[in-house]
Amino acid sequence: MNNDRKAQYAFGMVGLGTMGRNLLLNMADNGFAVTGYDKSEKMLQFFEEEGKDHNLKGFADINDFVASLQSPRTIILLVPAGAIVDSVILELQPLLDKGDIIIDSGNSHFTDTSRRAVELKEKGIHFFGMGISGGEEGARFGPSMMPGGDKQAYAVVKEMLEAVSAKVNGEPCVTYIGPGASGHFVKMTHNGIEYAIMQLLAETYEILKNGLGYNNEQIQQVFEKWNNGRLKSFLMEITKDVFLFKDVKTGNLLVDEIKDEAKSKGTGKWTSQVAMDIEMPIPTIDAAVSTRNLSKLKKLRVQLNDAFGSSTKINANEDFIADLEEAFYFAMAGAYAQGMHLLWQASIQYEYELNLAEIAKIWRGGCIIRAEFLEDIYQAYKKQANLEHLFADANVQQKIKQSLKGTRNVISAAIQAGIAIPCYAAALTYFDTLKTGRMPSNLTQAQRDFFGAHTFERIDSEGVFHADWNQKKI
């Protein structure tokens, strides 16, 4: 490995797994002098082999790695979230000088990012959290990036980040998100939306396969057609391709050989948890998180399937697929709207000063949830920066209204057939509740006051009231 201690590199990466290597290769392609550090000799060999066109070298010794970086040293971390991030920072800290920069680009919980920023600021080290979306290919050829925190540090890396990011209409898919842990909060919310859309695609697959009896070729054709229209997105694109991928071992489609138990890394759960904490409803995202957990109950599900029986076929007419497209559009819009509403509230709660138009703008390319619909979201918040909810935008309202009939037809048919559609149902119930001018929550308040003297407010006068509910009834 390279033991030259001369400061020659502009940027260093800790963690040379696939994401770290690909991002460094992307940076090198764009003319930046980069190096990496990893304790694994194997990872270092991969890095140097893949970076041979740029003569890239890595370090197994952290002292040599830090010494090789130009001042102010800029170090990007791409290591697993949690305790490993803290241990890496602890290892780096004594080797750094005031003014040096650490960028955490993993999926860290935003509260950890807030803590680390405060701790490092006290030592004169700049720190910010940066969410990266786009997977391995995105890191290599242009991801969407969400940096938030120390603005002075962002200025140092702005040119590099804009160069390596994805581009839409020539505009980079990266922007300064805001202070504190805003970058990781936005990435977390992005992942929550991702959970919801993935589950909606799974429910659509269920409707097509078990509700309509479609074979894999027919299912693939539906997703391909949709991806050529207004539902065009990265997740739709890869879903249509899943139904073309053969398993080498069996010759069958690989999707049919995969066990129906979905795993997760926790970011969807974090989104639901923080939404509960700041009292923002995101039921479509919540349903997606819960359904992944339900999928893990395989033994119980099989047992109850035997006891209660399977779903039945949907008695569909010739318009059903068109209705299903409307339903997917509606529920997808709801997932994005809930995520944006969460960001709107978090911006107030945590003083993040989020620019929702800019966030939608950088999500249009490079990231996992990139979709045609993000242009509508971008235009809505660009037109009205303080827009509280996406459904308050006139353009989105018109499209939602047009999709409602088909949405209700599909959800009703699926429920009648006993087909589980948790995200579709959550999206519609959320919408119907949100557009209800007077909810039945007055009864809830009456009950709370009855059993716990929790008080209530009246519609005809100001103040807080309590009733003696045990007095003689009428």
pTM of the entire structure? 0.94
Task: Encode pLDDT of 311-324 as tens digits.
Answer: 999 989 999 999 99
Region 159-186 average pLDDT: 96
Question: For position 5, what pLDDT does the model report?
Answer: 53
Sign for the CA dihedral angle at 238, 240, 243, 247 comes to negative
Structure-derived torsion over alpha carbons of residues 109, 110, 111, 113, reported in degrees to the nearest 10: 100
Catalytic residue among 52, 151, 158, 187: 187
Question: For position 3, what pLDDT does the model report?
Answer: 43
Average pLDDT score over the chain: 95
Q: How far apart are CA 196 and CA 275, in angstroms?
A: 14
Bridge partners, residue 253, by sequence: 246
Region 204-230 average pLDDT: 97
For strands 101-104 and 74-77, give the pairing: parallel
Catalytic residue among 41, 123, 136, 194: 194
H or E segment and range at residue 170:
none
Phi, psi of 128 (to 5 degrees): -150, 155
Q: How far apart are CA 91 and CA 241, in angstroms?
A: 43
Task: Encode pLDDT of 82-123 as tens digits.
Answer: 999 999 999 999 999 999 999 999 999 999 999 999 999 999
Task: Encode pLDDT of 230-243 as tens digits.
Answer: 999 999 999 999 99
Q: How far apart are CA 51 and CA 58, in angstroms?
A: 10
Region 260-281 average pLDDT: 94
Q: How far apart are CA 221 and CA 240, in angstroms?
A: 8
Domains in the chain: ranges and CATH:
11-180 (3.40.50.720), 191-434 (1.10.1040.10)
Task: Encode pLDDT of 370-428 as tens digits.
Answer: 999 999 999 999 999 999 999 999 999 999 999 999 999 999 999 999 999 999 999 99
Region 212-219 average pLDDT: 97
Region 359-376 average pLDDT: 97
Q: How far apart are CA 76 and CA 78, in angstroms?
A: 7
- DSSP of 194-235: HHHHHHHHHHHHHIIIIIS---HHHHHHHHHHHHTTTT-BHH
Q: Does residue 198 surpass a pLDDT of 50?
A: yes
Q: Does residue 443 surpass a pLDDT of 70?
A: yes
Q: Does residue 247 surpass a pLDDT of 80?
A: yes
Q: What is the band of 150 on the pLDDT scale with cuts at 50, 70, 90? A: confident
On the CB side of 384, how many CA atoms lie within 13 Å of its CA?
A: 15
For strands 171-172 and 167-168, give the pairing: antiparallel
Count the neighbouring beta carbons within 10 Å of the beta carbon of residue 235: 18
For helices 18-29 and 151-164, the axis angle rounded to 10 degrees is: 80
Q: What is the DSSP letter of 350?
A: T
Q: Does residue 341 surpass a pLDDT of 90?
A: yes
Question: For position 60, what pLDDT does the model report?
Answer: 95
Q: What is the band of 153 on the pLDDT scale with cuts at 50, 70, 90? A: confident
How distant, in Å, are the alpha carbons of 133, 161, 314, 449 from that of 146? 8, 10, 43, 45
Phi, psi of 11 (to 5 degrees): -140, 145
Residue 187 is among the residues annotated as catalytic for this protein: yes
Residue 69 is encoded by which pair of tokens?
A: 């970086």
Question: At a CB cut-off of 8 Å and minimum separation 6, what does 44 contact?
Answer: 1, 16, 36, 38, 58, 59, 60
Contact in structure between 326 and 159 (CB atoms under 8 Å): no
Residue 246 buriedness (CB in 10 A; 0-12 / 13-18 / 19+): exposed
Q: Does residue 348 surpass a pLDDT of 90?
A: yes
Task: Encode pLDDT of 18-41 as tens digits.
Answer: 999 999 999 999 999 999 999 999
Q: Does residue 2 surpass a pLDDT of 60?
A: no
Q: Does residue 353 surpass a pLDDT of 80?
A: yes
Residue 386 is encoded by which pair of tokens?
A: 């303080």
Task: Encode pLDDT of 403-413 as tens digits.
Answer: 999 999 999 99
Question: For position 427, what pLDDT does the model report?
Answer: 98
Task: Encode pLDDT of 46-89 as tens digits.
Answer: 999 999 999 999 999 999 999 999 999 999 999 998 999 999 99
Residue 155 is encoded by which pair of tokens?
A: 């200025």
Question: For position 38, what pLDDT does the model report?
Answer: 94
Q: How far apart are CA 370 and CA 24, in angstroms?
A: 23
Q: What percent of the chain stands above pLDDT 90?
A: 93
Residue 194 is among the residues annotated as catalytic for this protein: yes
Contact in structure between 38 and 99 (CB atoms under 8 Å): no
